[in-house]
């Protein structure tokens, strides 16, 4: 499916942007040079008729993206949170993609619920509304359980969404392969791996049972986070294409006018959104991977309510520590340590100069250390950071793609609430707490204890494992039979001692 036939899809993508007028808007937002704009018009104009028309009532870029399909919409949702990158006007247009897409008919949704759950909608729900929100993959209905009177949100996948996504992702794979073939210098960015990662994330979002499991686990992890709410899953009314959650009441995070009128402290909200995200990522290793304004609400008491758990990110403990050290190094301006961490983790080839890399990182970090968001050109910063990674041969880390992408999105949410927020100052308390708990002396003792527990668990097998290792790495001459029992007893004793040490140390943690 990833063959040359996708060339037609790519041509139609460009033609759609040309036909809808989106091409010029995008080039303006990117501050593209005049030569590129002229070339785009000359090349694109003859093919514009091949593009999709889209909804003429929508602004150009939104019109083009909605016409092209769900995968493009997902990308547009990300850009909608970054007015500092794409400009305020374009970001405002793209907010439409978060939860205001055209819904599918109510009767279709009711039929899907009945087929999936094997129920009669009118018997289970005393109320079942028209769609209250519609996004790229699913739409949400507000309903009330007939048995208890509880208000719930019923999420229903769009009909045919799986096939539509497969078609878009197929074209993305072809594009990535062509880019690597035509521009070998881009291979370090691993575009094919990036698309593969995106596919895995999105395909997981198309099974609402998995989303329900993520919501349940996320709720358990964040139960102690004051002022953060995750709606409860109703497992009895959940299946592959239908999910039922407790209703989340609050002001949508993209309704800035209502938030201001409510009297909520928008600066505090912005800081808490950022800090909670970092806390979930570093402390738990499980974070909301689609934390844009359309997936957040603010309750009247200031609680932050998260919804839509189709994309959740996971990072292992080692990667969390590396990420925290890098963040902490930027916060404290210790660029030498930031560079060392990159080398220690293998993010930068070992044959590069660590001192030169630290200098390049300083050029990235220093200009923004004491600035608020209104003084920072994030587009220029990202452009320079890209130059640094290219110069030092850094490859794209697929395990960090979702974390980095979500960090960009969350930063955009925080800045929409307070344009002058200092990201580093807001992040510092969370990162410092994690550093103390995961890299300090207690963490060393905890790591040793875990190691000892693993060794103790394998205590009964230690004699056999050790003997096999010795046989492989020693003389082929056989060992006297009478020596083996004594050696086995020694290994068993060692296992027992390790177990005792593990239990003893654990009492002090």
Q: pLDDT tens digits for 282-299?
A: 899 999 988 888 899 999
Whether the pLDDT of residue 477 is over 60: the answer is no
Instruction: Name the residue with higher pLDDT: 36 or 254.
Output: 254
Question: From the CB of residue 63, how many other CB atoms can be counted at a distance below 10 Å?
Answer: 24
Task: Say what the pLDDT of residue 387 is.
Answer: 67
Looking at the structure, do residues 304 and 336 belong to the same domain, yes or no?
yes
pLDDT level of residue 493 (50, 70, 90 thresholds): very low
- Residues 431, 408: Cα–Cα separation, whole Å: 17
Across 135-205, the runs of DSSP E, i.e. the strands, are: 138-145, 151-157
Q: Which domain covers residue 188, as residue numbers?
A: 162-202
- Residues 228, 221: Cα–Cα separation, whole Å: 11
Looking at the structure, do residues 259 and 344 belong to the same domain, yes or no?
yes
Q: Residue 113 falls within a domain, yes or no?
A: no
Task: Give the number of residues written for the chain.
Answer: 509
pLDDT level of residue 494 (50, 70, 90 thresholds): very low
Looking at the structure, do residues 23 and 77 belong to the same domain, yes or no?
yes
Element (H, E) at 252: strand 251-252
Task: Say what the pLDDT of residue 459 is.
Answer: 66
Q: Which residues of 261-270 are buried (b: 16+ CB within 10 A; e: fewer)?
A: eeebebeebb
Mean pLDDT of 441-456: 70
Averaged confidence pLDDT in the chain: 79
pLDDT level of residue 347 (50, 70, 90 thresholds): confident
Looking at the structure, do residues 169 and 74 belong to the same domain, yes or no?
no
Q: Residue 27 falls within a domain, yes or no?
A: yes
Instruction: Name the residue with higher pLDDT: 393 or 132.
Output: 132
End residue of a domain, out of 439, 464, 496: 439
Q: Residue 18 falls within a domain, yes or no?
A: yes
Provide long-range contacts, Cβ within 8 A and 24+ apart, for 57-61.
Answer: 58/96, 59/25, 59/93, 59/96, 60/20, 60/21, 60/22, 60/24, 60/25, 60/93, 61/20, 61/22, 61/25, 61/26, 61/90, 61/93, 61/94
Q: pTM for the whole thing?
A: 0.69
Whether the pLDDT of residue 130 is over 80: the answer is yes
Looking at the structure, do residues 413 and 449 belong to the same domain, yes or no?
no
Domain count, the chain: 4
Looking at the structure, do residues 427 and 484 belong to the same domain, yes or no?
no
Tokens describing residue 67: 């016409």
Which residues are tagged catalytic?
Answer: 290
Q: Residue 281 falls within a domain, yes or no?
A: yes
Mean pLDDT of 178-184: 71
Q: Residue 348 falls within a domain, yes or no?
A: yes
Q: Residue 29 falls within a domain, yes or no?
A: yes
Q: Residue 428 falls within a domain, yes or no?
A: yes
Looking at the structure, do residues 338 and 467 belong to the same domain, yes or no?
no
Query: What sign does the dihedral 261-265-271-272 (CA atoms) show?
Result: negative
End residue of a domain, out of 99, 117, 134: 99
Whether the pLDDT of residue 243 is over 50: the answer is yes
List the single range of 89-93, 108-112, 340-344, 493-497 with lowest mean pLDDT.
Answer: 493-497
Task: Say what the pLDDT of residue 7 is.
Answer: 73
Q: Residue 380 falls within a domain, yes or no?
A: yes
Looking at the structure, do residues 455 and 425 belong to the same domain, yes or no?
no
End residue of a domain, out of 390, 409, 439: 439
With 0-12 / 13-18 / 19 or more C-beta atoms within 10 angstroms meaning exposed / middle / buried, residue 509 is exposed
Looking at the structure, do residues 176 and 78 belong to the same domain, yes or no?
no
Looking at the structure, do residues 176 and 198 belong to the same domain, yes or no?
yes
Looking at the structure, do residues 167 and 256 belong to the same domain, yes or no?
no
What phi and psi, each to the nearest 5 degrees, are found at residue 100?
-125, 25
Looking at the structure, do residues 352 and 294 belong to the same domain, yes or no?
yes
């Amino acid at each position: 499916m990833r063959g040359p036939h996708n060339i037609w899809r790519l041509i139609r993508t460009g033609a759609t942007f040309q036909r809808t007028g989106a091409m010029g808007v995008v080039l303006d937002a990117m501050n593209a040079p005049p030569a590129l704009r002229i070339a785009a018009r000359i090349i694109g104009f003859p093919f514009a008729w091949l593009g999709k028309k889209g909804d003429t009532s929508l602004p150009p870029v939104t019109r083009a993206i909605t016409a092209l399909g769900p995968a493009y919409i997902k990308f547009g949702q990300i850009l909608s949170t970054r007015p500092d990158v794409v400009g305020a006007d374009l970001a405002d247009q793209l907010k439409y993609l978060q939860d205001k897409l055209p819904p599918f008919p109510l009767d279709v949704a009711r039929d899907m619920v009945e087929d999936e759950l094997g129920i009669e909608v009118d018997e289970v729900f005393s109320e079942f509304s028209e769609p209250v929100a519609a996004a790229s993959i699913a739409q949400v209905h507000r309903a009330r359980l007939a048995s208890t009177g509880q208000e719930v949100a019923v999420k229903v996948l769009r009909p045919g969404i799986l096939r539509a996504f497969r078609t878009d992702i197929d074209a993305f794979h072809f594009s990535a392969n062509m880019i690597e073939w035509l521009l070998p210098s881009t291979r370090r960015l691993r575009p094919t791996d990036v698309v593969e990662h995106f596919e895995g994330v999105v395909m997981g979002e198309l099974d609402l049972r998995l989303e329900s499991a993520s919501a349940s686990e996320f709720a358990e992890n964040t139960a102690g986070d004051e002022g953060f709410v995750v709606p409860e899953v109703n497992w009895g009314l959940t299946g592959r294409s239908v999910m039922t959650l407790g209703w989340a009441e609050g002001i949508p995070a993209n309704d800035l006018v209502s938030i201001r009128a409510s009297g909520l402290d928008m600066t505090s909200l912005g800081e808490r959104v950022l800090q909670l995200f970092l806390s979930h990522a570093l402390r738990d290793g499980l974070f909301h991977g689609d934390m844009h304004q359309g997936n957040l609400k603010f309750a009247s008491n200031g609680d932050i309510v998260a919804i839509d758990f189709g994309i959740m990110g996971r990072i292992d403990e080692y990667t969390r520590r590396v990420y925290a050290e890098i963040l902490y190094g930027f916060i404290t301006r210790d660029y030498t340590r930031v560079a060392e961490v990159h080398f220690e983790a293998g993010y930068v080839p070992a044959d590069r100069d660590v001192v030169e890399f630290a200098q390049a990182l300083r050029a990235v970090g220093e200009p923004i250390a004491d600035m608020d968001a209104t003084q920072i050109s994030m587009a220029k910063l990202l452009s320079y950071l890209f130059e640094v990674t290219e110069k030092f041969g850094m490859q794209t880390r697929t395990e960090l793609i979702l974390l980095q992408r979500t960090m960009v999105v969350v930063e955009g949410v925080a800045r929409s609430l307070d344009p002058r927020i200092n990201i580093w100052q807001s992040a510092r308390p969370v990162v410092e707490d994690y550093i103390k708990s995961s890299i300090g002396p207690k963490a060393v003792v905890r790591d040793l204890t875990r190691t000892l527990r693993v060794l103790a668990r394998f205590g009964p097998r230690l004699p056999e494992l050790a003997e096999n290792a010795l046989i492989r790495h020693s003389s082929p001459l056989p060992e006297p039979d009478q020596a083996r029992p004594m050696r086995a007893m020694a290994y068993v004793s060692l296992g027992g001692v390790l177990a005792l040490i593990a239990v003893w140390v654990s009492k002090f943690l």
